[in-house]
Structure formats: C-alpha cells, structure tokens
Structure 1
Amino acid sequence: MATIVFSALGNALAGPAGGAIGALAGRQFEDALLGTGRRRGPRLRELEVSLSSYGLAIPRVHGRMRVPGAIVWATELQEHSEVIGAKGQPATTTYSYAANLAIVLSSRPIRSLGRVWADGKLLRGAAGDLKVGGALRVYLGSEDQPLDPLIAASEGEARCPAFRGLAYVVFEALELASFGNRVPALTFEVVADDGVSLGALVDETVSDATVTADLTGFAGVLVEDDLASCLSTLADVLPLALDASGEGLRLRLADTATELLLLEPPATAVEDDAFAPSGGMVRRRSPAAAQPAAVLRYLDVARDFQPGTQHASGRAAPGQPDMLELPAALESAEARRLVERMAQRRESARERVAWRSCTLDSAVAPGTLVRLPDRSGTWRVETWEWRESGVELELARVDTLDLEPPPAPSTNFPAPADLPPAQTRLVALELPWDPAAQTGQASQAVAFVGATGASWSGAALYADGRDGELRPLGPAARARSVIGRLEMPLAPANPLLLDRTSLAIVALSDPDAVLAPASLDQLAMGANLALIGEELVQFAQVEPLGSGRWRLAHFLRGLGGTEAAIASHVEAEAFALIDARGTPLPSLVEGEDTVLALGRGDAAPTSSPLHLAGIARRPLAPVHGRSRRRADGSLDLRWTRRARGRWRWSDGVDVPLIEEAERYLVTCEGAGSTLRSWETQAPALELSPSQAAELESLGPCTLQVRQQGTHALSLPLPLARLP
C-alpha cells in the first residue's frame, strides 16, 4: 500500500521519474515495517513447462513424485490435413499437428511411470491409457536399456544415445489438437521406490555412511542439488544428527533416545579464553525470532502433488513468515505435524547451555539427548569440542511434550477424472433421398458413431469391400452419436396412423446419453428421427428407466419408404438417433456394404452393415393397389405411384416424377418363381379374359407391381391373389 501511495505522490510532484523514486521509497518503507520474509530450500516446481536448457540439473527421484522433466530430443511438429465436405458441398480443410519428443524424468532408475498431466489435464491415466492419440514409450533407466526406435530412425544409430542410467519417456505422434496445436506443459508421476529411505539418498553419494534415520510419512523426495543441500533442507523439519567424529559418517534422528545420559558436573577451566572458567557452564536464552511462526510449503499427495502450505499454530505477528520449501511429497496431516514440531523445536531451542566436562564419553555425540545435574529438562548435544581443559559442549533445550498437532484443514480438490477408455459403437445406414440436399442420382451413406462413455475422442472409419483389405473413408468421426440396441421387438402397426400402442425399450451404449420428447408439431418438422432395425421411425414420448435404458412410445412408422420392415423386427437390433452428429461417407462405393470404426481405446474394430442400402436410389413402392374383375372376365389392375423425397401428400396436385421415365413391372408370382410379367408406362394394367383364365389355371399365385426406376426396382405392392 505504501508503494502505491509514494509512487502516486512522486508522479504528481515530479512526473514518471518521481513516480519511480516514490515506488522505491515505498517499497523500502514496507520492508522496514513488515519485513521481507525468508524462503529456504529449493523452489518447488508448480506445473512448470518441461525445459530444454543446457546445464539444467536432472533431479533424482526417490519414492513417488510429480516432475516436469527435461526435454532432450524433439522433432519439428508434424502437420496433418483433413478435407471435410460431402459431394456437392463446399469442402473445408482442417489442420492438426503432432509432436515427437523425449523427456528425461530422473537421473536414477525408476520402477514405473504413473499418471501424466498436460496443461493440468490428465493425459495418461493410472491404467496407462493415453487420453489423446499418439504413443508413449517408457524407459526405466537401466544400464542396458535399448535405443528408442524413433530417435534411432531420425538421428541414426551411430548418433543416437540410449540415455542409460536416465529414466525417460518418448512421445511419438502425440496429437496436439486438444492443446491448441502446441506442446503442452507436461508433468509426470514417477514411481522410483516403494517408499523413501534416507539411506538411499546418502548411499548414492557417501559409500561409508551409517544411516539409522527413516523418513516415515514421506511419499517422495526430489533431490535437485547436492546431497548437503538436500540434508540441510530435511534437517529443518526433522531433527537429524550428523556425526563425523568416528571412522565414518553417522546420520540418525535426534530426539529419539529411550534413555537419557546424565552429564557430570561442570568443570573449571584454566584457559584465558574459556567461558565461565570457575562455574563451567553458561546458560542463555536468545530473543524471539523476528519473523512469525514457520510456514511449510510441500507437494500435497491428495492434490495430485500440487504445492500446498501448512502454517504452524500460534499468535499472529507482523511481518512476512519464515517459509521453508520442502521438495517432498506429503499428506496434509503429515505436513501439519512436521511444521508444528518444527515450530516447537525452534521455540525450545532458544534456551541454550554451554557445558564443560572433564570426561570424554564416546556416547556423547552430536544429537545425543542428555540431562544436567540439578537442572530440569532434556537437552540435545549440538556441538562438542575437545580442548585442553576438557570437552566443551553446546546444548539446546528439547521440548519433550508429545502434543498432537491440530488437524490439517480438509481440501476439496477437483482432481481430473481418470475415466477408462470408452469403446466405440457404430451404426451405418444410407439415408433416403432428400431433394433439398441431394441430386436425383446421389446416395448419402452416414455413420453414426457412439461410445460407451465420455472418454472417447473419435474413431477412424473404414470400408470392407470383401477383399480382405480395409479402405479408409476420409476424416475420422469426432461427434458422439446416440446409438444403442432394442431390448424387445417393436410390434407391427399401421404406417399411415400415429402408433399409440407400441412400445420400445432401448439400451443406449452410453449410460449418460439423453433422449428428449417431442410434440406433434416437432415431429412434423423431423424431430426424433431414428433407425430401429431396418425401419425409420419418429417417436414422441420418452421415459428414462435408469442405467441408459429408455422407454419410447407414440411412433410414426415406416418413414422414408421403410414400411416393408414394420413386421420384421427382432430382438437386439440396432438403434440410432439420426441427427447432425452423423459422419457422412461420400467415398463409400457400391459393393462396400460393411463399415468399420476403430477408436483409440478399441482392441479391435467394431463393424456395422450398411442399413437401408440402396434406399436413396430405389423408387418407392406404389400404394393403394386395386383389382376389379369385370363382367366379361377381364381383370383391371390399378395403383398410385409415389416419388422419392416426396413424403407429404398434396391435394389436387400430383407429385413430380423423379425417375427418367414412368415404368412399371407387373408380375405373377407363384411356386417360388415368376410365372408371367408385363411392363406398362401407366399406373394401370388390364388383362384380357383369356389372360386372366390362363393365370388362374397356373395355380395359386399373386399379382404384384414394382416401379421401374432409373437405377433400381421398387419393393413390390400386392394387387390381387388368384384364383
């Protein structure tokens, strides 16, 4: 606040230069009043971007930690383009990028790689699944690990290092579309050991050390600098005792003795520079620290190793607190216990005693807990020095109260969802001809691709031409469609009326998918169009049954010329909601009647037959078939034609003919074969008395009519049954 005030005042009096001088004066005033605080220990890395700088130290990971790593190899970004657009429509070219890079995680071997985060989002789950496209190879840092094939192919085997002794990962073709087509900030959960051992930290540097201290409660430790810096930081939260007076280095936890040694009475001294020459001891109490109670900054295991802070309890004091940055992974309760113990030791260590003894006792070493004659309390040996007049000891008081620290405040951390890879589901069909979007010669195949969950990022589409080879069908499917299976067959109904009696129970592939009801006006606008088996329907009412199951009712049946499939429904047939989420398949050619989809989480492709194949080019079957026997024995056959894409009747106006010519094929079917056939160019046919008599002599048969289109015959319409 003072900085702002002084800066504004200086700017008003002397312009920008005065403002800069005022800001400097205000900052010095704040530092004098509040203090600047002190940060000790290595600065914790908080979701830092993986660096690639010369001279960057590669840390040693102990236990389980989250590290950003160091990029040691990379290529230029790979560019991919996709052209999206159906026939007759403008095409759009989209570009995406992928990255190849190698990142070193630890300068000592590790056991496994856990989760990976990219820009704070989960990139690799606990099960080892990547949430985006690409490949990830993990090298644990053994001394015989092989060359990475991608690096070797790019750089050549002669120039390719195996990074033996370093744990690293290699991303190959990592898709960057989810990260703005740039390399994201990557962090890795590295599992190096089952737990953290102080002996393992020391043994890597000092071979003849004896370590009896343990790091119970530590999930992981990151050693970024030299061993001395790491031990110095740990000693701030743990009472470590380091003794180098013997043959080797001894490191143990102080304040853990079960029996306390009793020192002999203090001895006098004859040196001129000795303290308390007659009394042999000096007791002093240092003033309270100028900075408030300690603050511990650590990596919180419960918050995915993001930095957390714990404050020691006590009266608030002015100034900035003394903050210790501990490169260790801890639970919040353990961090709270450590910071409370640290504050207690700091307060009790204010009382110190200089003590002189005439006896050289090998059991009295730095870190030893002792008692003093005729004085209360427990004291720890900080230092000792052997002099001519005796052994001079520096003692610090130890608070032996084992108080339970206050519980750490609970945190509600929204961890990124680690969902298993969703399985791809597919329903492919050919849509009836739409005069508003297609020409009379075109057919439109569409793939409706769904999944079993939300952790689905798309699937590549292929066509099976029955020659054993899969042919790619253009851009991958990205939109997640609503598809499923029918649990019970749909009953037959009249296609000309609203079916209010039939029910359908659908089990959707994705339990979280939702179906919505529709009014009759919305049905008239094309809402809730769906494929059930080989029939196109619309439904008005939906009722959720739980677990992705829905009850559908109030249908419009046999839409788009599929009325022939009304009576042929079976159990477990396909269901697909037809909407804008479908992926057009303009490159699907005739004869390719099977479509396959392969997603990132699929062990094998899922396939679907092309439902309603040929419906776009096949004329609609005629309707309103009539037959009349005249008095002279002749047979008069009549019907009404329909046209593709004309789904509504217009009173007084005949629908336009879509085919090149109006032609019909009338056949007499009996005994499993065609007995007679006639062609006509009008929606009527008259059989003479002799022709009718001849047909009756052939035995039971059925007269039916098909419209002959430009590319195919329609489905038959029965006209009469003879005799």
Structure 2
Amino acid sequence: MATLVLGAVGTLVGGPLGGAIGATLGRSLDTAIIGTPRREGPRLKELAISTSSYGQPIPALYGTVRVPGTIVWATDLTERRDSSSGGKGSPGTTAYSYSVSLAVALSSRPIDRVGRIWADGNLLRGKEGDLKTRGKLRIHRGHADQLPDPLMAAGIGAQCPAHRGCAYVVFEDLALEDFGNRIPAISFEVFAGSAADIVSELAGQVDIDSSRADFPELDGFIHEGGSLAALLAQFDRLRPLDAVTRDGRAAIKGGEQPVGEVPVLPPPAAWDEGDFGRDNGTDLARRSPVGETLSALRYYDPSRDYQPSLQRADGMEPGIAGQTLEFPGVFEAAAARGLLERASHRARQRGETLSWRIVELDPALGPGRIVRAPGHPGLWRIEGREWRERGIELELVRHVAPAMASSAADSGLAWSAPDRLAVETLLRVFELPWDGVASPGTPQVYAAVGAPTGRWSGASLYRESGGTLIPTGSSGPVRAVGGKLAGPLGASPGLRFEAAAMLRVELDDHDAGFAPVGLDAIAGGANRLLVGGEIVQFAQCQAEGSGIWLLTGLLRGRGGTEIEALAGHAAGARVTLLDNRLRALSADIDPGGKDRFAAIGLADSDPVFAAIENVGRTRRPLLPVQPRGETDPEGNLLLRWTRRARGGWAWLDEVEQPLVEQAEIYEVGLGDSERPDRVWTTLEPRLRLDASEVGSLAVLHPGKPIWVRQKGSFAVSPPLRLTTLPSS
C-alpha cells in the first residue's frame, strides 16, 4: 500500500523520476512494516471460484478442507416463464427464472462426504444438508465402484465416464435467481478421512516411520501435485524430517530428539589436504539466517470457514525480514502460531555449523542423529556425511531444543454466512377499507406472505379456481410482518387517541420488529395494524425478547372498524402490519369472497391455503356516527346522524367529506336489521316521524330499536342505533 501511495505522490510532484523514488521509499516502508513480499510454497487461494479450464489440476484432499472444485460438465441455462394476468384493465406480467445443471470435480482421491457449500460467499447448503435454493444435489465420493451420474449419462450418452477415483458433485436444475441468473462462485467443505492419511499413502513411495513423522496439528491438506521431494520439503519447514537409508532404501523419520545417553563423536582426524581449515580435522563456521528464517505463515483457518489466515512470528531481529511460508494446510490459530514460532526459533538458532572428519564409518552416526563433539559444548545434529579419500566428513549443525512457544493466538474477526434451516410459508389474505386512492369499486385484497424465523426466500402465489391453481406472481424475498396477540385486547369505543392503552404482539419472525412514531405520523396513517378485523395504530413500541413486542399509545377502530374495536380481541388473534410489504391481489377477485389463495415456498411440501378475511370491506359504506333522536313539543320524532364516506380516515373539522357513492341514500329501519318491521328511505341524514305514527309504532312494536344505515353503490353499511321506541 505504501508503495502505491508514495509512488503516486512522487509522480505528481516530480514526474516519472519522482514516481520511481517514491515507489522505492514505499517498498522500504512496506518491508519495515509487513516484511518482505517473498513467499515460499504454493499460493493459497484467496477468493477461489469454481473454474473450467484444461490443464488445471484436481487436488487430492486429506482431512477437512474447503475447495472451489473444477467444473467438468454443464448444461445451457434453462429458462422458465411464470405469467400472471393483471385483470380489470391492469397489465399482465411475465417473470423469467433460470436454472443450470453442472458437475464439479472436488478431489482426485475418494472422500467421505461433503459438508457445507458456499455460493458467492453465502451458504448454498447448510450443515444439515439442506439446499438453500431450488435444485437437487448428488454427491459421488470417488470409490472404485462408482457409476456414471444419471443426468450426465442422459446428456452425454454411452461415453459418459464414471469418474472412478475422482470425487465430484452434480447440481441438477440449480436455481440462479439468487445469483443474478449466472453460475455463482461455489466452494465446498469436504471431509476426506484424516490428514494423517497422506503419511500412509507416501509410505508406498518411501519408508516412513509414522510414529515419528506424524503431524497432529494438521487438520486438512490440499495436495495439488508436484514431486515427493517438494511435498516433504513443505512438511519439513514446520515439522522437521530426517532422510536416512535403511537396507539400501530411502526412509523418512521425524526430527530426532535426544533420548537417554547421547553418543560422543570419535576424535577428529587431521588430514593433510586442501584448505579444510585448521589441520585438526574440524572446521567451525557461522552462517547468516537471512533468507531461511520464517517470519509469517499463511494457512487455512477452520474458525474462519477455511479462509486464508496469517500468523506472524515474534522476536525477529532487526534487519532480518524472513520468509512467508504458504502452506496449503488447515490449522487452528493456536497450532499455526506454535508451529511458526518453533520453526522461526530453529532457523535463528541453527546458524552455527561444524565439519568433522573421522577415519571409519560408524553406521549409528547417520543423518538426524544427535551427538556430542569433543571440545565443542552443547549438542549437534548430523545433517549429512560425505565420503572422502581418507575417511568420512560429517556435516554438523547446532541442535536447537524445541522452543516453548506460546499457544495463545487469535484467528481475528470473520463474517460467517448464517446457516438457517428452511421454514414453511405463512399466508394471510384480507380485504381492507378503501384507501381513497384506487378505484372505489375494486376490492382491495392483500396477501401477507411471510415465514417464522429461519431461511425463507419467498413463495409463488396462486388463486384457486375450480380445483386448479392459477399463478398470480410471487411474493419476493421480503416477508410481511405478522404474528398474534400475546394477550387479550379489550374493547374500545375508538373515539380518541388512548395514550395509556397497550397490546402485546408475538411476531412470527423474531428478527422482525417495529419502530415508534409521533402523533403527526399517526395522523398521517403510520403504524397501522390489522388485529383480527380491526385496524389499530400505535405510537410507541418496546421489544421484550423472544419476538414479543409491547405496543403503547393506541388509536382504535380505524377505517370504519369501530364495531370490531367495541368487540375486542382474544389472545391469539392474528396481527399483520399494514405496509408496503403486502402483496396486492385486487385483480380478478370474486366480490363474493369465494376465492381462495395459495402460496408455495421452497420448504412447503404442500400449498399453504388462505381464504379472504373481511370480505366486502372495500366497497361497504362506513357506519354513520353521532346518532340523535329528539321529540319536539308536538310529539314528532326528529332523527339525525352524521354520514361518513369511504376513504375518509381522518376527521377533518368543518370539512365536508366528498361522497364516494353514486347517490346519498339512507335506510331507516325498525326492529331487527336483518328482518326489519318497517323501513323508511331518505336522501339526507335526517328523518321526521309524526307524533301519530310514533304512537302507533310504540303500540305495535314496543321497546324495539330504530336504526339507520347508508346504502352505497355496491353494499350497505352496518346499522347505527338511533333510538328505542317506548314500552307500553
């Protein structure tokens, strides 16, 4: 970063020469801060994606690892069309979705199973084996009896290989809506036995003492090919190995630690040849650890979902930049830290070398043996031996005791994709009072489509007609906010704002919530809830945990739902937030409410059905208000009331609400509103009954109520009681 910044600044100030100087200073600063960019080992894949290219190796996997895989077969994208009719003059819509089938090779040796799968960084398959999107997955573990995949065989024919010895997976009709209608970057968590299996497989090429060449810290390893020597060299940097001969065959064992009595080398033999040094048969020298000391280790960290991590060594001497080792293995952070500290300590302390001449070969003094050298304190390790004309020359290196490295290490903060099980769809369909915007003659029916806490990506919606499901579109991935009353909600006249009133809601999705608003926002229609059949507004909210919210400051009976407010609601009544997360279903709705709707989501084994609640509410006139019944001095009965109009939610002082119906007509009835004994019709919100008529009615129908209801263009309002006839 400093190289880029200082180079750019230098170019702006001093032209190309200034840029070169700035870049040089930047590299010096980078080296001082983060060390040399020199790295050893295969480059760890930062953001690896599944690819398909000739010549790319398929790695052999050991233990538990995460790999991108190689695409070895794929189909063209498959297009699916979902059309829905708008109806009643609204345009129809056609939604397109795409899917693909493909095979991805994972390992050039058999595996046990596949765990999680990531697509574009998000989980495509969870720990429980559930796919997070539509499609099918088949896993072929790479054993010798493996058969061709049926989908690939159908597409390729008789020439389809079984890929025996190669583990791979096949996605069938993998939905691509969540990935921008393209094949996403996929990576796989693979379980392939134990990482120690690599030692037993190497034993077929070279003798290995597995009891002394084990690697307990290694949880997984990705072997992408290369020579045996290169592989062993990788291991040797972190877990020292010694190459010896046994019966004329190469053998590998772990770096030896002295056990029991340490053998002493025979006295050195003084030879009179060359420039060996002093003529006493020994040559002591020191070599610089520069270029050999490990300063950092890059590896795969399981706590970070196997993403590359970095540990740095402590105690680096000034001026010694060291190397960064790229090791394609899986370590816990503490294990990686310990391995790095010990490797760095060994490299810093092994700068002293000693050449030692002896006359006769002792088979016990072979490479890897820990010995003592007369006249040179401490322990020495035999690194090699070479035949000379007059004897044997041993190459010794100062033996370093294992460092007591601290195991404290931190993997750092990392984002992990949430692994949530799929949940079933919840559906509620209802009709709402006219909002004053759309056509007053069209039923305003909405679907609240949601789900409990968990993974849910939306659902397809259908209208049931004659036993057939007709597509009406999809809900989209955004859930409607809904739940149920956690306790009863008492009756209310719904006349004014009730600051002390409260209700408790238990939300279906515990991750959802509410937001408080002021009284001005309440007056503008904010925070509307459909509780049963009543529309309630609330001002304040407080989360109580486990999806339960306390809502206070209520305005009841909104949109002409005073009757429902007066009845109250029992615990468990459905509650839905009325906002833009609802799905409008106003096209081709049967005004009689005989329609039934269905939703089908990814986790729904059967359609989720819901009938329309509050049928006819949109086109039904509102209940008249402010009833008055007065008797004048002559005994005449004067009945008055105040009309309201659909869409007029707000009470506006001294403002006449425009009439929505084709004509202003009222029915004034006597007795039961379903079977009235007498009905009068009036074109204004008042009616006068003569004293004689009132007297005869009192005799014939004593104690019966007189009510009024407005006749609209499509329906009549609920009745409002005006007065009661006197009893005889």
Q: What TM-score, normalized by structure 1, do the two folds share?
A: 0.82
Gaps of 5+ in 2: none
Q: Could you say which residue in structure 1 is the equivalent of 2:488? A: 489
Aligned to 1:431: 432
- State the shift of 1:344 in Å: 3.2
Structure-2 residue corresponding to 1:379: 380
Residue 714 of structure 1 aligns with which residue? 717
More deviation, 626-635/441-450: 626-635
**Corresponding residue for 1:616?**
618
366-375 or 325-334: which moved more? 366-375
Deviation larger for 263-272 or 313-322: 263-272
Question: Residues 468 and 140 from structure 1, CA distance in 2 versus in 1: closer, same or farther, beyond 3 angstroms?
Answer: farther
Residue in 2 that maps onto 1:71: 71
Q: Deviations over 1:365-385 (max 9, x none)?
A: 433333445654333333346
Q: Please give the per-residue CA displacement for 1:338-381, whole angstroms capped at 9, x wherever unaligned.
A: 223223333326413344363553x5543333344565433333
Question: Share of identical aligned residues, percent?
Answer: 39
- Return the letter of the residue paired with 1:325: E
Matches within 5 A, 1:116-135: 116-135=117-136
Tell me if 1:353 matches 2:355. yes
Larger mean CA deviation between 171-180 and 470-479 belongs to: 171-180
Query: Alignment partner of 2:563: what SS?
Result: helix
Q: Distance in 1 between matches of 2:452 and 2:142?
A: 37
Shift of 1:221: 1.1
Residues paired across the two proteins, number = 710
Q: Which runs of structure 2 are paired with 1:459-474 in the superposition (5 Å)?
A: 459-464=459-464, 469-474=468-473
Shift of residue 224 of structure 1? 0.6
Q: Aligned in 2, Cα 1:356/1:593: closer, same or farther, shift over 3 Å?
A: farther
Change (3 A) 1:490 1:370: same
| Greater CA drift, 514-523 or 598-607 | 598-607
Alignment of 1:626-705 (within 5 A): 640-648=642-650, 655-662=657-664, 674=675, 676=677, 678=679, 680=681, 682=683, 704-705=707-708
Task: Determine if contact 1:47/1:68 at 8 Å carries over to the other structure.
Answer: no
Structure 1 residues 180-201: Cα deviation after superposition (integer angstroms, max 9, x where no partner): 5544433322221245344244
Separation (CA, whole Å) in 2 of partners of 1:536 and 1:630: 39
Between the aligned partners of 1:501 and 1:364, the Cα distance in structure 2 is: 92
Aligned to 1:188: 188
CA contact (8 A) 1:530 1:577 kept: yes
Partner of 2:216: 216
1:275-301 Cα offsets, whole Å, 9 max, x none, are: 89996x534324213437323222233
Partner of 2:513: 514
Q: Equivalent residues in 2 for 1:23-42 (5 A)?
A: 38-42=38-42
Secondary structure at 2:158 match in 1: helix
Cα distance 1:77–1:266, how it changes in 2: closer, same or farther (>3 A)? farther
CA distance in 2, matches of 1:89, 1:499: 41
Moved more, 711-720 or 688-697: 688-697
Q: Which shows bigger deviation, 480-489 or 349-358?
A: 349-358
SS for the counterpart of 1:262 is coil
Stretch deviating more after TM superposition (552-561 or 379-388): 379-388
Q: 1:330 matched to which residue of 2?
A: 331
Q: What SS is found at the alignment partner of 2:358? A: strand
Q: Which shows bigger deviation, 261-270 or 683-692?
A: 683-692
Check the 8 A contact 2:445/2:584 in 1, yes or no. Answer: yes
How far apart are residue 398 of structure 1 and its match? Answer: 1.5
Alpha-carbon shift at residue 625 of structure 1 (Å)? 5.0
Q: Secondary structure at the match of 2:474?
A: coil
Per-residue CA distance 1:16-75 (angstroms, 9 max, x = gap):
8x999x899979x99xx9998643221111112222110111111111122222121223
Partner of 2:502: 503
Partner of 1:158: helix, strand, or coil?
A: coil
C-alpha deviations, 1:202-226, integer Å up to 9, x for none? 15x5387653321111111111113
1:379–1:395 contact (8 Å) kept in structure 2:
yes
Q: CA deviation at 1:536?
A: 0.7
Query: Aligned equivalents of 1:131 and 1:240: distance in 2?
Result: 45
| DSSP-derived class of the 1:480 partner | coil
Give the direction of change, closer, same or farther, for the CA distance of 1:389–1:587 in structure 2 (3 Å limit): farther
SS in 2 for 1:233: helix
Residues 145 and 441 from structure 1, CA distance in 2 versus in 1: closer, same or farther, beyond 3 angstroms?
farther
Structure 1 Cα separation of the partners of residues 595 and 539 of structure 2:
31
The two structures have a TM-score, normalised by structure 2, of 0.82
Q: 1:568: how far off?
A: 4.4
Is the 8 Å Cα contact of residues 671 and 706 (structure 2) preserved in structure 1?
Answer: yes
How far off its partner does 1:446 sit?
1.7
| In 2, Cα distance between equivalents of 1:510 and 1:548 | 7
- Could you tell me how far apart the structure 1 residues matched to 2:208 and 2:189 are? 30
Q: Judging changes above 3 Å, is the alpha-carbon distance between structure 1 residues 89 and 271 closer, same or farther for their aligned structure 2 residues?
A: farther
**Residue ranges of structure 1 left out of the alignment (5+ in a row):** none
Residues 69-116 of structure 1: per-residue CA shift (max 9 Å, x gap): 212122334556778997767888776654443222211222232333
Please list, as runs of the form range in 1=range in 2, the aligned pairs for 1:164-313 lying within 5 A after superposition: 164-176=164-176, 178-203=178-203, 206=205, 211-212=210-211, 213-226=213-226, 227-246=228-247, 249-260=250-261, 262=263, 265-266=266-267, 281-291=281-291, 293-295=293-295, 296-313=297-314
Distance 1:456 1:588, change over 3 A: farther
Secondary structure of the equivalent of 2:379?
strand
Q: Cα–Cα, structure 1 residues 565 and 7, in superposed 2: closer, same or farther, change >3 Å?
A: closer
Q: Deviations over 1:664-710 (max 9, x none)?
A: 5566666x973646473636678897898689658986555544444
Structure 1, residues 111-160: CA drift from partner, whole Å, max 9, x if none? 2323333444444443444455554443333334454454445x144344
Whole-angstrom distance in 1 between the partners of 2:198 and 2:276? 37
CA distance in 2, matches of 1:84, 1:425: 21
- Residue 576 (structure 2) pairs with residue 576 (structure 1): yes
Aligned CA distance change for structure 1 residues 56 and 544 (closer, same or farther; 3 Å):
closer
Moved more, 215-224 or 169-178: 169-178
Q: Distance in 2 between matches of 1:604 and 1:284?
A: 83
The 1:427–1:291 alpha-carbon spacing in structure 2 relative to 1, beyond 3 Å, is same
